[in-house]
Chain A
């Protein structure tokens, strides 16, 4: 007799999965709160001292306020760039629209740190642009300093407009063309139709993009860390406290930032409320083909111009990576180009090591996140009800909590040897970074697994069971192949996220486990720009490869 399939009603696997998720997601956060309040085996006992510290220091409140307003401003700016772009690329037609439209989404696939250093090389005070202006007008010094909130917002806008762009494009493509025709038939002009019909239909998409931008900004670390200087936001404040040894304060700061993130999430979700999402019947409206040749080429030029502008930082990065160290001083263009930086990366074991580290840690984290995400998603859908909802919430939680917070939390939980409390000393070992990446990737893989499993016709599993297949065979032969396309999308994105991670790495790395991002950062510090750029380009290429694999998986 074949092994029996689990009958509906067996709930222990769901509980077990929930316990595993709580252990890596919820438990570290709880321990962080407790230790911030002095409740831990190693400390003196309950104390509000660190909390009082936090509350009475003006710079803490300032950092909190800065995090908040920068996030709000990032949402506004990203929306102002992304939504018009979406209209241009979705509602009009001109030569090159498809390719450019895809290129515009590229920044989302690049690790934040790579974007930041690319910006530095292009717009920084000794970057291309400043250098050019300096020579053009024969200036003594660089015409500007790239730093402070302006620089942070510039980088945020540049990397986060993509959320608005993609969400708004998707919503526009789902728009029912007959609705526009109905508005026109009722006498509404183009403007009225836009304001009264089109924009309300985009509302859910825009709120979704706004939420994503806000949460990403709130957790953003690379840009404020590199451009902020003394201008501290919460994420950099936490790392500064940790580095200066004020661990309990860092824990309190992490808890406060996590609370802010959860409150923001809750508020925006409330705003989204029960959206009257029009089910998309009918077909999307025709794109407006620009008739006049002049306007057509005008649009094409605009599109190409924008795309080049968006790609310029990365092109700069590629250029810098070919500049041998110390050869480029005052000239506008580098006098000498060569592959010496790349040769150095691949010939010196110490330079090669971060790449090997990043690759294996990202691969291990992705594999773990896929397995755990798939398990949790399946148990969530099977259990349903409150338990299912709780599992889904646990999968999504690391998405809402800034990476810095998780780094502090995991560092707190796994630096104590107390096996009976399920705590082990993993900080300083090769376990902690892959674990941190895994937790950060869990929402990505879990969400794709949920999407795939939701589309899975339950009758397929029943058919398999009725043909005598056991649970395991059904899972391998039927469930997995059917959800694979959805899963592949998550795998690519999770791998990119883990590979380019800087925010958790900077808190938890050791010399032997340092990933590429840490190596880029230390190369910048010692002015080895060519090496930093070469690492950046490699990271970019690896990410692009994963992005392409993801896109192909999606299309299937």
Chain B
């Protein structure tokens, strides 16, 4: 990642990776409900972080604490070394794009973009050129005098982005900025959003419930669940090496099997007994330390880490095809295993109701696999939780 080349307003504060924006121990309750707990996170300057979670996970609250619309019960927000926890939203100097854009309906596109510049006391002479610059950035040249009700949803989204970026904020906050667009428009707008933010080079936090959006726009992705930060990492890390059962099942497709831990080493490499078979996986995350031989575990496996095989193959598990799931790029057979649990395996020639056998098909990083070839990530092993 490169540092911010032009825009932004870091005020020359010393900032290294993971320290330009620091959120430490943020907590917030509404009434008796704890919506955010011990939220700690750091962003480097110019980094784009996607905050991913289901509705009610606390991601919007986290963003609002960051913006200053809510006051945290505990914790601090620091930007470029300055503690802004007690500052009003107006004094923070952050730009924000709202879910429904919150464009001022009684103003033109230009007036919307100029609003923040006027509020922050820019010289009259500098305002018009800056507005033009923003219109160009979001490809809306010539739309300046339109009323915001006269332009399309995608254009409104771009005006909102231009308005937020115009006063050269030091941080950009995006609250589900694409959720109001048609699916067809969303993909393209996402490209443009990412390109515009990249060009400005501003440190950005994006809140979304869409994995694809988070993976595409975010340099790193933070997964929130029930008010707690589950994992922060590169998209590939979250997919291949989830550190919690939630992330393992929330990100991408997977199947979960209940088994017994036969052995685990210091690096987390684990052997799990599933009926008569022994499958290999890896214990990850904070729970890895507490796993002991004989413990009941959940074995979470991706479809591409499994393949169909002959009945006599060692360590194969038998199951029945319950359904097919067609996704365009691939067709998955949904298999209910005899040992319990349901997995997905890539296959387009099995019949529903047929009895089949599956074995792991791991790539080179997996050790001691039972299969000679394969390409899937190593399955994850967690202490057995509530069956889901």
Q: Is the CB of A462 within 8 A of B167?
A: no
Q: Is the CB of B106 within 8 A of A482?
A: yes
The verdict on A459 contacting B98 (CB below 8 Å), with A2-B120, A467-B115, A467-B119 known, is yes
B168-199: CB near A (< 8 Å → 1, else 0) gives 00000100000000000000000000000000
* Residue B69 is within 8 A (CB to CB) of chain A in the complex: yes
The verdict on A2 contacting B119 (CB below 8 Å), with A459-B100, A468-B90 known, is yes
A1-23: CB near B (< 8 Å → 1, else 0) gives 11111011100000000000000
How far, in angstroms, from A320 to B282 measured CA to CA in the complex? 99
How far, in angstroms, from A462 to B99 measured CA to CA in the complex? 12
How far, in angstroms, from A5 to B98 measured CA to CA in the complex? 18
Q: Is the CB of A466 within 8 A of B91?
A: no
Q: Is the CB of A469 within 8 A of B102?
A: no
Shortest CB distance B250–A (Å): 28
* Residue A428 is within 8 A (CB to CB) of chain B in the complex: no
Shortest CB distance A304–B (Å): 39
Q: Is the CB of A464 within 8 A of B100?
A: no
* Residue A457 is within 8 A (CB to CB) of chain B in the complex: yes
How far, in angstroms, from A3 to B91 measured CA to CA in the complex? 8
B52-95: CB near A (< 8 Å → 1, else 0) gives 00000000000000011111000000000000000111111111
The verdict on A465 contacting B98 (CB below 8 Å), with A478-B104, A481-B106 known, is no
B88, B94, B100: the one contacting A5 at CB < 8 Å is B88
* Residue A477 is within 8 A (CB to CB) of chain B in the complex: yes
Q: Is the CB of B89 within 8 A of A466?
A: yes
How far, in angstroms, from A463 to B88 measured CA to CA in the complex? 13
Q: Categorize the interface residue count of chain B.
A: 20 to 34
* Residue B261 is within 8 A (CB to CB) of chain A in the complex: no
Q: Is the CB of A4 within 8 A of B88?
A: yes
The verdict on A4 contacting B119 (CB below 8 Å), with A463-B96, A468-B93, A481-B106 known, is no
* Residue A98 is within 8 A (CB to CB) of chain B in the complex: no
How far, in angstroms, from A477 to B88 measured CA to CA in the complex? 19
Q: Categorize the interface residue count of chain A.
A: 20 to 34
* Residue B164 is within 8 A (CB to CB) of chain A in the complex: yes
In this complex, what residue of B is CB-closest to A460? B102
Q: Is the CB of A459 within 8 A of B102?
A: yes
CB neighbours of A470 from chain B (8 A): 90, 119
How far, in angstroms, from A470 to B87 measured CA to CA in the complex? 12
Q: Is the CB of A467 within 8 A of B116?
A: yes
How far, in angstroms, from A465 to B115 measured CA to CA in the complex? 11
Q: Is the CB of B90 within 8 A of A469?
A: yes
Q: Is the CB of B88 within 8 A of A465?
A: yes
How far, in angstroms, from A337 to B139 measured CA to CA in the complex? 70
* Residue B129 is within 8 A (CB to CB) of chain A in the complex: no
How far, in angstroms, from A448 to B94 measured CA to CA in the complex? 34
CB neighbours of A460 from chain B (8 A): 102, 104
* Residue A454 is within 8 A (CB to CB) of chain B in the complex: no
Q: Is the CB of B105 within 8 A of A466?
A: no
In this complex, what residue of A is CB-closest to B119? A469
* Residue A473 is within 8 A (CB to CB) of chain B in the complex: yes
How many residue-residue contacts, CB under 8 A, span A and B? Answer: 86
Q: Is the CB of B104 within 8 A of A2?
A: no
How far, in angstroms, from A440 to B67 measured CA to CA in the complex? 42
Most buried by A among B95, B99, B106, B163: B106
A8, A457, A465, A482: the one contacting B90 at CB < 8 Å is A465
B69, B90, B92: the one contacting A3 at CB < 8 Å is B90
CB neighbours of B70 from chain A (8 A): 8
Q: Is the CB of A466 within 8 A of B71?
A: no
How far, in angstroms, from A7 to B71 measured CA to CA in the complex? 9
How far, in angstroms, from A420 to B99 measured CA to CA in the complex? 52
- Which residues 271-291 of A have a CB within 8 angstroms of B? none
How far, in angstroms, from A4 to B102 measured CA to CA in the complex? 20
How far, in angstroms, from A243 to B116 measured CA to CA in the complex? 61
CB neighbours of B105 from chain A (8 A): 482
CB neighbours of B94 from chain A (8 A): 466
Shortest CB distance B83–A (Å): 14
How far, in angstroms, from A459 to B105 measured CA to CA in the complex? 12
CB neighbours of A459 from chain B (8 A): 98-100, 102
A1, A466, A481: the one contacting B96 at CB < 8 Å is A466
B95, B100, B104: the one contacting A466 at CB < 8 Å is B95
B71, B91, B93, B98: the one contacting A463 at CB < 8 Å is B98
Q: Is the CB of A5 within 8 A of B115?
A: no
Shortest CB distance A174–B (Å): 24
Shortest CB distance B104–A (Å): 6
How far, in angstroms, from A9 to B88 measured CA to CA in the complex? 13
In this complex, what residue of B is CB-closest to A461? B102
In this complex, what residue of A is CB-closest to B115? A467
B350-367: CB near A (< 8 Å → 1, else 0) gives 000000000000000000
B292-328: CB near A (< 8 Å → 1, else 0) gives 0000000000000000000000000000000000000
CB neighbours of B99 from chain A (8 A): 459
Q: Is the CB of A465 within 8 A of B100?
A: no
Shortest CB distance A554–B (Å): 16
How far, in angstroms, from A1 to B88 measured CA to CA in the complex? 10
B87, B91, B92, B115: the one contacting A464 at CB < 8 Å is B115
CB neighbours of B93 from chain A (8 A): 468
In this complex, what residue of B is CB-closest to A481? B106
CB neighbours of A468 from chain B (8 A): 90-91, 93, 116, 119-120, 167
In this complex, what residue of A is CB-closest to B93? A468
In this complex, what residue of B is CB-closest to A473? B119
A9, A457, A477: the one contacting B102 at CB < 8 Å is A457
- Which residues 98-139 of B have a CB within 8 angstroms of A? 98-100, 102-106, 115-116, 119-120
Q: Is the CB of A466 within 8 A of B164?
A: yes
CB neighbours of B71 from chain A (8 A): 7-9
- Which residues 142-174 of B have a CB within 8 angstroms of A? 163-164, 167, 173
Shortest CB distance B88–A (Å): 3
How far, in angstroms, from A3 to B102 measured CA to CA in the complex? 22
How far, in angstroms, from A466 to B94 measured CA to CA in the complex? 6
The verdict on A463 contacting B90 (CB below 8 Å), with A468-B116, A473-B119 known, is no
How far, in angstroms, from A204 to B96 measured CA to CA in the complex? 42
How far, in angstroms, from A153 to B148 measured CA to CA in the complex? 52
CB neighbours of B164 from chain A (8 A): 466-467
How far, in angstroms, from A469 to B67 measured CA to CA in the complex? 14
The verdict on A4 contacting B87 (CB below 8 Å), with A467-B115, A467-B116, A477-B115 known, is yes
CB neighbours of A462 from chain B (8 A): 67, 69, 89, 96, 98, 102
How far, in angstroms, from A47 to B105 measured CA to CA in the complex? 60
The verdict on A463 contacting B119 (CB below 8 Å), with A5-B89, A468-B90, A469-B90 known, is no
Most buried by A among B67, B89, B105, B164: B89
Most buried by B among A1, A465, A470: A465
How far, in angstroms, from A457 to B173 measured CA to CA in the complex? 19
How far, in angstroms, from A469 to B163 measured CA to CA in the complex? 13
- Which residues 289-321 of A have a CB within 8 angstroms of B? none
How far, in angstroms, from A460 to B70 measured CA to CA in the complex? 16
CB neighbours of B173 from chain A (8 A): 466
Q: Is the CB of A463 within 8 A of B106?
A: no
Q: Is the CB of A464 within 8 A of B98?
A: no
CB neighbours of B104 from chain A (8 A): 460, 463-464, 477-478, 481-482
Report the 6 A-B pairs with minimum CB-CB distance, sorted nearest first.
A467-B116, A4-B88, A459-B102, A469-B119, A463-B102, A465-B89
29 residue pairs of the A-B complex, CB under 8 angstroms, read: A1-B91, A2-B120, A4-B91, A5-B89, A8-B71, A457-B102, A459-B100, A459-B102, A462-B89, A463-B103, A464-B115, A465-B88, A465-B90, A466-B89, A466-B90, A466-B94, A466-B164, A466-B173, A467-B120, A467-B163, A467-B167, A468-B93, A468-B116, A468-B119, A468-B120, A470-B119, A473-B119, A481-B104, A482-B106
B residues apposed to A, CB below 8 Å = 67-71, 87-96, 98-100, 102-106, 115-116, 119-120, 163-164, 167, 173
**Interface contacts beyond A4-B90, A462-B67, A467-B90: sample of 19 additional A-B pairs, CB < 8 Å, sorted by A:** A7-B71, A8-B70, A457-B102, A459-B100, A460-B104, A462-B102, A463-B96, A463-B103, A464-B115, A466-B90, A466-B92, A466-B95, A466-B173, A467-B95, A467-B119, A467-B167, A468-B93, A477-B115, A482-B105
